[in-house]
Structure 1
């Protein structure tokens, strides 16, 4: 889950018992967090280049129904005041869309569909998103740490479609594959606040795109963390990832948002 931390992690510098002192004051740390994200999906997409725009509004239950596979993992590290934050998301879904009547448009493999036509599409979508940011700890106070971050988010969308175009009593079907991707530059902040020896709060946010990849993208994560022991903690919170990409006939304007639950292993 986006860089969830243990309350006993490197960020705290509260008074601690002697048994925790080596971990609290170590000069480096590495954390790996696999997580579950119960996200809903909202937005507008085009299933193929210069295809019709489809509005998507899916609660988490519908996302799960369409899900073939999903995986989420976060990696976070620090050496002295230099920090590294990485997050990887892979989702494989199958969805069925029906759109129409539509203006005239062309479908790869089918040709031109006249005005008033409809399309039925079974779309297998694979989405890979990887965020990598590095930065520097600008505040390292006993009750608060704050990191300034910069980096990039890589997107790759792959669609495999079985499309049927119809008008009146006539119809024609074809299969088609298409993929596209882009890279968004990012800047961000990450704050960590120890509450007690075992309990902490963390927030991380970034913005980017700026027309270099997508028109605009941003994400935010807030978690409450509880440390079972020095090397193991759990986190619960809320995550949001928004992107607006519209280039060369490809449209991917979506927002994923929902609660997240993670387990952090510290090395």
Structure 2
């Protein structure tokens, strides 16, 4: 096995201009990949547009001695997603890995969420992951190889306040990834998800006033974006040739494998069920296995280690 896990591979990293995307792009380059840095240069809410973040990532890769090109096309439209993959083919002659990382936030409590807030987040996260993945799929099929690494979130896997759009998109990405893994396994193509943890603009509003709060924030700040990059590189590599259809997380120095939805309890009635029977017998029997209204911080309640 090469000491560089993705040596010679061509990798697209969407949202590669900063944060987790930049960290993944840099680690891909360190491990021998040629990188397409896709980033429209928008803010966290999707507004604006500048090539500067992608240019900064490109310069960092070049300083490492790596090769990188920039794509400023949006993932959220079919035609522009095609151009992202075409950029890889035109620049490097092939495509081996797609990292679906691009994202925006439009957090609003559900009963105040506008259609625009819903659609904009779904379009970037869920539709974008489909569009870019689909644009690469035929090339993967023809060459009988390829890997997808999608970014999900514990906001979708577990739950969070004020993120119906984001949570729905991120859980949808898990189903998309599993479907890709099932449909394309015969062509040697793999598809996995990462739920990343990282200190960023999204978590920087956590209070840090008391000594206890300051100590907790200091620990959270250890979860830098680069902590997610080694897992992404591994999943892109031939070292993970038998790993597909899975959901992982990287949290500081911890790695997690997530369960996936399966039946947890059943109850049977030989005569079938009436609504009254369900109320009197069926639901009381199932209730012991109900899943609580947990949020991500409730489940990941310990400090990162």
TM class by shorter chain equals under 0.3
TM-score (norm 2): 0.25
More RCO (CA 8 Å, sep 6+) = 1
Of Structure 1 and Structure 2, which has the larger fraction of its residues in strand? 1
Rg larger in structure: 1
